[in-house]
Chains A and B, each alone.
Chain A
Amino acid sequence: MTELDFEFLRAYLKQRSGLALTTEKRYLVESRLAPVCRRFSFATLRDLIGSLRIGHDGAIERAVVEAMTTNETFFFRDRIPFDLFRDVVLPEAIARNAARRRLRIWCAAASTGQEPYSLAMLLQEAAPRLAGWQVDIVATDISSEVIERARLGLYSQFEVQRGLPVQWLLKYFTQIGEQWQIAASLRAMVEFRQFNLLHGFEGLGTFDIIFCRNVLIYFDAPTKSEILTRFANSLSPGGGLLLGAAETVIGLTDRLAPDGKHRGLYGHAETARTAALRAAAG
């Protein structure tokens, strides 16, 4: 791949997906795009990039964007955000929404579904507190291919062993040959949609809780700012945004602020200021 091809690809991915392909990630290009070359019968990466330059085939363009975006995920990944959801964010949302008995959660980079299904399992465990509630989990990802996989809820033996307690494997999954499928009742709790974070969020409605972990790290600062500001618009008053451990809102938007007590949790800046003033007033 020539320097010009790499620069073209970098600009192309930035425009289509927001992905900031740094020079250090150059090594990923060949390994990720080799299957796309095979699938569309391009002899070389150069030919594939040449086709993108002409830009007449939407299927190839989508395949390239999907191949280059990261889909690494597993059940209860990093554990702490899920403990935070179960012990802090969910109880607070239940208290806040007690009158209207409705809860909306958005997993903004759902990949193959492990994160939204982890939340669905935690909600199932909290079912007595949510009796009579309408609970929506909206799970989106830029890749239609991973969304299709997520809808099936079918996982390999390796996938179900990464992060999932074995007791919950037995409780919520059915063994189908070498694979494991998550229960239909949990699949029904999650609405999967293909969605690009660079597009407007208005059509999705507002959410009490937004999970967007380990995604912003791939964007440059202006794109991060833009997305975080739009998250602020999509978050209902008092709602919580959970980001990955290496991500923050600081220096990127003044609409959101760290929760102060719980690392990785963010809320509307005005809510945080009010809470701080109340605490100072004793």
Chain B
Amino acid sequence: MSQRETTCLVVDDSAVIRKVARRIIEDIGYAVIEAEDGDTALGLCAESMPDLILLDWNMPNRDGYAFLQELRQSEAGRRPKVVFCTTENDVGAIARALRGGADEYIMKPFDRDILTAKLEQVGLSIRASTDIS
């Protein structure tokens, strides 16, 4: 029986950001699914809860913060690690995201080193064979 893949849901209304994030996250050993807004992301979580969610803030059809609040209300929705990844780069936004239940916060623009470091910080294992230096 094959082992279930560890999954990451990338939620961002920018196709470019989703593509960049997908490439990095797949490289470190995760299966990636994508959503372009908060509503779609909630639907995907209802079908199958991911292990990690990389979450933009400003999106149509339910923004990242509203999505997070809704997600964290359910028992299953408290399980995934949530990393905000946003251009909202001020202290107030970061503090609000953490109060809302985010585990980490990435200020855009980001690079591969930052993303992998943040994933390690929230306790996710990075595939050892991946050399990011």
On A, residues with C-beta under 8 Å from B are 74, 79, 157-158, 161-163, 165-167, 169-170, 175
Contact = CB atoms under 8 A, between A and B. Distances in A.
A98 to B, nearest CB: 33
Nearest to A180: B91
A162 B95 contact: no
Which 4 A/B pairs are nearest by Cβ-Cβ distance? A166-B105, A161-B114, A175-B91, A157-B107
Contact of B120 (A74, A79, A157, A170): A79
A167 to B, nearest CB: 7
A169 B102 CA distance: 15
A158 B89 CA distance: 12
Given A79-B120, A165-B104, A175-B90, A158 B114 contact: yes
A115 B1 CA distance: 45
23 contacts: A74-B117, A157-B89, A157-B107, A158-B111, A158-B114, A161-B107, A161-B110, A161-B117, A161-B118, A162-B114, A163-B117, A163-B121, A165-B104, A165-B121, A166-B94, A166-B104, A166-B105, A167-B98, A169-B94, A170-B91, A170-B94, A170-B95, A170-B98
Contacts of A175: 90-91
Nearest to B106: A161
Interface in B46-102: 89-91, 94-95, 98
A273 B105 CA distance: 46
> Which size bracket describes the interface of B in this complex?
10 to 19
B113 interface: yes
Contacts of A74: 117
Contacts of B110: 161
Nearest to A77: B117
Nearest to B115: A161
Contacts of B107: 157, 161
Contact of B117 (A162, A169, A170): A162
B46 to A, nearest CB: 28
Contact of A166 (B98, B111, B113): B98
A165 B105 CA distance: 9
Contacts of A163: 117, 121
A175 B106 CA distance: 15
A71 to B, nearest CB: 16
A167 B107 CA distance: 14
A167 B98 CA distance: 8
Contacts of A158: 111, 114
Q: Which of A158, A161, A163 has the most CB of B within 10 A?
A: A161
A178 B105 CA distance: 16
Contacts of B95: 170
B111 to A, nearest CB: 7
Contacts of B120: 79
